[in-house]
Chains A and B, each alone.
Chain A
């Protein structure tokens, strides 16, 4: 298992290949930043899902519910703090955003704990039932969101400090996208450090590879799994909050919509691989933005095409996880 850098190279290759097609360097920079921001937000939402699959062979089709819950909770908190959101001070803005995001993560995480108990645990190891029950969970969750927050979409404006764009010559870079990139990279760095430098991370990686042997060494993999599930749900909540601010609207359907992108990303990355998920997310984000600019009508189709190409090249995704 030598370090395999080829998938990582795809990101700059894709970006450079897009430059002549787009023509204007200024647009290219804007699109690239937009693509990275979108990709990193998807990565934040997808990372937990791919790990839970790797650890316990559980794929939660209801993952989108946590994304939506995160978006709604964050929206509620921010709307309640409207004066701070509209204040002309970045510190007051942050004082509204940070608790909103934390609340989103906590609520999503707690819900994740309950979801794991009630929905997922009874169907461990039964794939068909797992797909059905978690999809059912998504249906119910989406309806409950409508019960609690009403059926209409919520409009959410970004705080003052995050509106508008930085201008560098004739290049415009939206401020919010820069923040999304920073947060996404921070989450990736934290995950990478945990997975590579801590005992817990080693255990998770070992568990993804061979959960049975981890148990035979004396570690309870279920406990590990529940932990990862909860963290993954909280991250989905964080991603949902970020996505809501990005779109500036929040609807109950947001979860199911974004979950499709999340699935594409973890298929491309290789189910169970966080590194693959990161590369896949960036590829998806960049492709969506470049194609969205070049041929807007086929933008979402482009992700499917990307997925098909990757699977033709590596049928198990960019980083197939060595299993048993």
Chain B
């Protein structure tokens, strides 16, 4: 597949004595948004962490922009332009919202225009600018975690369950933000449980099952095929429209 910004081939990951990923393969197209779906425990989070270098791939290859990043250290992977929003959000509770974003902007003070763009979507961040992030609500922490990933232009965003615990209005803002990003500067790989959100946003889809990718393809086709959804995702996810 040409134009793949990120590609995984035969990736295997072990955590301690547990073998979690058994040869994961999929691509994220340049400028596209790939949804990584699957049941709980299918290995989605482990896949993101392996790409980020937070778990080491025991076998296989991860290429980013044509470069083998399988064995790079996490900071070096990040410096290639990959940002990560973990499921736990991992905001720095002891630091203020501002300080969280200062750290996320590696190349200098956060850009004013960019900040305004973020504030327009996640207004709470402006309101609580000088509050320790630990005092934010769950949804506001999620906004901060996403804001931290997009405070500077990055080429690839890895986002783990961004809609978890968010109010619908904020989900709409997040969809806006991701749409704008993917059209322009960034490609995205998003792990999601909320299928309604996933089908609105995804260009392509990879569905994981038991540590492997069981289905890859176009989101429109997958969204139309309810039997396949039923088969791969079970009852929990099919339709929320």
Interface residues of A (CB under 8 A from B): 1-2, 199, 202-203, 205-206, 208-210, 212-221, 322, 324
Contact = CB atoms under 8 A, between A and B. Distances in A.
Contacts of A199: 102-103
Given A202-B99, A216-B78, A221-B75, 10 more contacts: A1-B132, A1-B134, A202-B95, A208-B94, A212-B90, A214-B103, A215-B75, A217-B78, A322-B94, A322-B134
Interface residues of B, number: 25
Contact of B75 (A2, A218, A324): A218
B93 A219 contact: no
Nearest to B92: A206
A221 B53 CA distance: 14
Contact of A217 (B106, B134, B135): B106
Contact of A206 (B79, B84, B103): B103
Contacts of A213: 86, 90, 92
A216 B92 contact: no
A202 B75 contact: no
A219 B102 contact: no
Interface of B: 52, 54, 73-75, 78-79, 84, 86, 88, 90, 92-95, 99-100, 102-104, 106, 132, 134-135, 148
Contacts of B78: 215-218
B94 A220 contact: no
Contact of A218 (B54, B79, B88): B79
A212 B135 contact: no
A221 B106 CA distance: 14
B75 A1 contact: no
Q: Would you call the interface of chain A mostly helix, strand, loop, or mixed?
A: helix
A93 B9 CA distance: 69
B99 A216 contact: no
A321 to B, nearest CB: 8
The listed residue with most A CB atoms (<10 A of its CB), out of B86, B94, B106, B148, is B94
A217 to B, nearest CB: 6
Contacts of B79: 218
Contacts of A219: 75, 103, 106
B74 A2 contact: no
Given A202-B99, A216-B52, A218-B106, A322 B74 contact: no
Given A216-B78, A217-B78, A322 B93 contact: yes
Nearest to A218: B78
Contacts of B84: 216
A3 to B, nearest CB: 9
Contact of B135 (A1, A205, A210): A1
Given A1-B93, A206-B92, A209-B94, A216 B86 contact: yes
A138 B35 CA distance: 53
Going nearest first, the 10 A-B pairs with the smallest beta carbon separation are A218-B78, A1-B134, A213-B90, A215-B74, A206-B92, A216-B84, A220-B75, A218-B79, A1-B132, A322-B93
Contacts of B75: 215, 218-221
